[in-house]
Amino acid sequence: MLMPSGVMLLLGAWGVRRQDAIWRDEAVTYDMAHRSLPDLWHTLLHVDVVHGLYYALMHVWFRVYDVTLDGTFGEVVGLRLPSVAAMTAATAGVALLGHRLVGRRAGLLAGFTFACIPVVQQYAQEGRSYATVCALVVWATYLLVLTAATAVPPHAPPQPRPRPRLWLGYTALMLTACLLHEFACLVLPVHAAALILARLPRRVLRAWALSTATVLAGLAPLAVFSTRQSAQISWLMWPDPLQLLTFAVLAVLGLGCARVRIRSRGPIGLRALGIPLLLLPTLLLLLLSHVEPAYVDRYVLYYVVGFALLAGAALARLLRPAGEAGQPRARRLRRTAAVALVLAALLPIDVHLRSPDSRVDDVTAIARAVRAVAEPGDGLLFMPARRRIWTATRPHDFRGLTDLALDKSPLASHTLYGTERSGDAIRARMLARRRIVVAGDPDGQPADDNDQEIAKRATLRDAFEVCRTTEVRGARITVYGRSGACGTGAAR
């Protein structure tokens, strides 16, 4: 199964720098991973505890990378390399799953299909936990299928053989996946459905139930504590229509692939695993979103594994060699050409994913834009305050500027974005400056209504005029000046 993994590795390496663009969530990863472990611990007590294990692992990774490879490849590659490796491992797991469920050809094509899915390539090149969670879920699912196959081997005696090591491995992988991201637990109902549909012996179901109980017990403290930080996802509203469309297309295509006549090899059938894996995690998260908005497709990224398994098996059947099982050469050529056309149609999407415009903002471009327009001694404002994360990866571009609203830095306050002074204090500090550089959201974004943001907007409107404005990906950099302070720079 090295060929699909090799393809995924090449796709992950292709354009991984993305012109050195880093978006805001990756900037958070970089910042948190470079804090000391005590500082990281104190920060997690206030914010982002759901990603705590990932930040700790990235902290260890950067301790090694920064003294070995950083000078050669740079911080951007270091930030994304673990995700490339994780998605490469996930591809190998998908190929082995397809092999175990249907056969070698189905496994190879499932691996290739997985690697070619645009959303897989997107998160293979992102410094966040989602690729790692996907890999852990894939390998946990493989161990589950392997356990079922060895528990009820062909022509076996009625008493199945216990395989405690496989169950321990399954439990460890699932627990780690859930601790990296809580919504990994939504794959557990998928596994339950697969085991029930396979009609396995009760002792197998009991062993799975024990493993699941262990996973949920290990996850419970994190889940309970993280509810105190639920305001972090208050920005979530109704799901993104494009994400829903992607899911709908893959679901329809996957169900269509499931109609192709396929013979499964083990007690857990391809459809019994593939269809629930494709549908259940997303549907369960959408149901949860009716109680509290929580749906983002990356939270259940592993659902695409279900599509890859179904599509790989269908392609193995439809693209079988000419002459095999009555396959005419002309039909095989037509089907192969259709697959090639689909891959060609996906190429512009793949190219776009490797450009800075593929993410909501570009922290690197924003920092450079601030440096280009700022003068020593200028004041600096972030609107809203959470955009202070734009300084995390390139703090040198903000040197010589005074953050007028900042009370305590992110590190000193054990927060992601630092804490700000009162609205009155911010206004007083603003009025003492002749020029202020404002790094803010572009037009069309909702404005925060807290005391600090209201004071910033009111003071800029009443006491300053616009000197110049620069638009970059995901941000607007505006220089404001008191009357006569703009000099020769025309407002635009």
What is the secondary structure of 16-70 as a DSSP string?
TTGGG---HHHHHHHHHHTS-HHHHHHHHTTS-GGGHHHHHHHHHHHHHHHHHTH
For residue 407, the one-letter residue type is D
What is the spatial distance between Cα 446 and Cα 235, in angstroms, rounded to a whole number?
Answer: 10
User: For 279-285, which contacts have Cβ atoms below 8 Å and span 24 or more sequence positions?
Assistant: 279/251, 279/303, 279/306, 280/186, 280/189, 280/190, 280/193, 281/183, 281/186, 281/187, 281/190, 282/247, 282/251, 284/186, 284/189, 285/183, 285/186
Query: What's the token pair of residue 24?
Result: 């805001």
Q: Comparing C-alpha atoms, which of 92, 101, 114 is closest to residue 313? A: 101
**What is the rounded radius of gyration, in angstroms, for the C-alpha atoms of the chain?**
26
Q: Comparing C-alpha atoms, which of 27, 34, 32, 38 is closest to residue 62? A: 34
Rounded to 10 degrees, the C-alpha dihedral 328/330/331/335 comes to 140
Query: What's the token pair of residue 326?
Result: 């009555």
DSSP string, 7-18: HHHHHHHTTTTG
Amino acid 320: pLDDT:
86
Angle of CA points 6, 7, 8, to nearest 5°: 90
Q: Comparing C-alpha atoms, which of 376, 378, 402 is closest to residue 464? A: 378
Angle, nearest 10°, between helix axes 130-151 and 164-180?
160
Say if residues 181 and 50 touch (Cβ distance below 8 Å).
yes
Say if residues 37 and 373 touch (Cβ distance below 8 Å).
no
Q: What's the farthest any 2 CA atoms get from each other in the chain?
A: 92
CB neighbours of 191 closer than 8 A, spacing ≥ 6? Answer: 141, 144, 208, 212
What is the spatial distance between Cα 335 and Cα 273, in angstroms, rounded to a whole number?
Answer: 26
CA atoms within 13 A on the CB side of 55: 27
Say if residues 229 and 48 touch (Cβ distance below 8 Å).
yes
Phi-psi region of 199 (alpha: psi -120 to 50; beta: other; left: phi over 0): left
What is the spatial distance between Cα 177 and Cα 447, in angstroms, rounded to a whole number?
Answer: 36
Say if residues 98 and 313 touch (Cβ distance below 8 Å).
yes
Say if residues 134 and 366 touch (Cβ distance below 8 Å).
no
Strand partners, 283: none
Amino acid 438: pLDDT:
98
pTM of the model: 0.94
For residue 133, the one-letter residue type is V
Residue 230 host element (H or E):
none
Query: What's the token pair of residue 16?
Result: 């991984």
List the chain pLDDT tens, one digit each, 492 residues: 789 999 999 999 999 999 999 999 999 999 999 999 999 999 999 999 999 999 999 999 999 999 999 999 999 999 999 999 999 999 999 999 999 999 999 999 999 999 999 999 999 999 999 999 999 999 999 999 999 988 766 555 545 555 789 999 999 999 999 999 999 999 999 999 999 999 998 999 999 999 999 999 999 999 999 988 877 666 666 788 899 999 999 999 999 999 999 999 889 999 999 999 999 999 999 998 888 888 899 999 999 999 999 999 999 999 888 767 667 888 889 989 999 999 999 999 999 999 999 999 999 999 999 999 999 999 999 999 999 999 999 999 999 999 999 999 999 999 999 999 999 999 999 999 999 999 999 998 888 999 999 999 999 999 999 999 999 999 999 999 998 888 754 444
